[in-house]
Amino acid sequence: MNMMHAVCPQCSATNRIDVSRAAQAACGKCKAPLLPKQPVELTSANFEKIIAKSGVPVLVDFWAPWCGPCKMMAPQFEKAASELAPEMLLAKVNTETEQQIGARFGIQSIPTLVLFEKGREKARQPGALNSADIVRWAWSKA
């Protein structure tokens, strides 16, 4: 059995799961899906733990509610999440409400995609992309 850790996007509990069953894995504490097919919201309360302890790469969309290109990319990012899960976890950081996270990573334009692996930034892509380009870029950097 090949095992990995997955952090619950709902309650932040760390779960040990079988990689072959990752798509169906649910949190042992709250029963929420661990690697959902839709983006999860990251906040200052769960960002560090999810980025550092996830057994899969985490692709984060840094966005803001007033940003036109961010609004246009949101459904594309959701579509990409359904294609990349469970091999990747897609997440969103609202840079208006989580300004300290955006500042920490030097986010100067939005939307910006940042791919994290084992707690470290691996790649960055500014600008809005369609779902096919998001998927292609994510796989090329993973």
Annotated active-site positions, please? 67, 70
Return the axis-axis angle of helices 131-141 and 68-84, rounded to nearest 10°: 60
Q: Could you give the 3-state DSSP secondary structure of residue 15? A: strand
Q: Rounded CA gap, 120 and 48, in Å?
A: 11
Per residue in 34-47, is it b (16+ CB within 10 Å) or e — as a string?
Answer: bbbeebbebeeebb
Residue 118 CB-half CA count within 13 A: 2
Tell me the sheet residues that pair with 61: 92, 113
